[in-house]
Copies of this chain bind each other. A is one copy, B any other.
């Protein structure tokens, strides 16, 4: 009996070793294909240079829908289709102005309207500018000192926060206008949400609610914020002239773009890999999130190039409208529910095209353990850990169905230098780093397609 047990054990071990070895060879083939024949970088160049910024509802966003549908067909997807969804249509209008005045002096700042902000009156708006370090300081000032003023939230991304400084500081972009309006402020300017000290203003969505006036909101560059902080030490009264012609137009019909390879054995089990196709309008949407889109397209291309017949269905999804509404991600999950689809796994790349250091995982413990057992296959490709905590804005709505969530985590500190800013251009993305991300995504999608969860 013992012998039989031992034999069985040895057989299981050698089967496991054989399987690990097969997988290791396949991941090597995946990596070779992407590093030698990959087109992700060319696709990204097209999205950035031939199309450019792709704000939801814009003509460019529509061009990007058509372009990525073509890319997915050329990559070899069995089916390519569009998933209609209504998206907000906010436009920036003419280049914004933010001119500081003190005594007889003036200085133009590097500013941009926050996304979804209302505009100023056509002739602009001028009021005293007051600096606050945070919400607590604002509340201490109270309505008396805030009413009629423009509030300048000079809250930095804290240097000691290594991976969560954005989440901490972005509260001022999101809630600054509502909190200031509660006290009677006429407008808001925030310090751009970035660690970088430079002249780039960073946009991004702000929010209003129905309880208070919608007041115009802009961001200034971090160098301007530092300069203003010094100015406030010397000057008692500083005024700001703001002019923004942004406005929200009626919603527009747009699309998620989906390319699918149908599974051979369990086609009803669906694996989603995606990025978001829309971008802010100041740069070219290279890191955020052209990178995630072209990496997802590369998954399809490599699976096809290598002649892999996945057992489960693989979808590359270009989500529309992540930046200012999440209409695409919401619609994708809604249709999954209506169509009773079985979404077993979803992965999103939306943290820049910097290559992956870790893959974040969220799922049932036994599923997480199964995925984590594959980690040795990833180490040769620079993926060293699979910590708890997977997800992504666009795939998030699938979680309610129990879908396993995976996030692509590059460890670099560079992402927020480009995030929502004019310098988020093709040139900021490194070809091989982009490809390293695609390798990690393709490998995990392949493994889930073959072994399930």
Contacts and interface: CB of A to CB of B under 8 A. Distances in A.
A195 interface: yes
Interface in A367-410: 379-382, 384-385, 387
A160 B32 contact: yes
A31 B32 CA distance: 37
Contacts of A358: 384
A411 interface: yes
A413 B195 CA distance: 23
Interface of A: 31-32, 35-36, 159-160, 162-163, 195, 355, 357-358, 379-382, 384-385, 387, 411-414, 417, 430, 432-433, 436
A414 B433 contact: yes
Given A160-B36, A411-B355, A385 B379 contact: yes
B411 A159 contact: no
Contacts of A195: 432
A413 B436 contact: yes
Contacts of A159: 35-36, 432
Contacts of A436: 162, 413
A163 B436 CA distance: 12
A31 B160 contact: yes
* Residue of A36, A358, A411 contacting most chain B CB atoms (<10 Å): A411
Contact of A380 (B162, B380, B432): B162
Contact of A382 (B32, B411, B430): B411
A270 B35 CA distance: 43
A23 B32 CA distance: 41
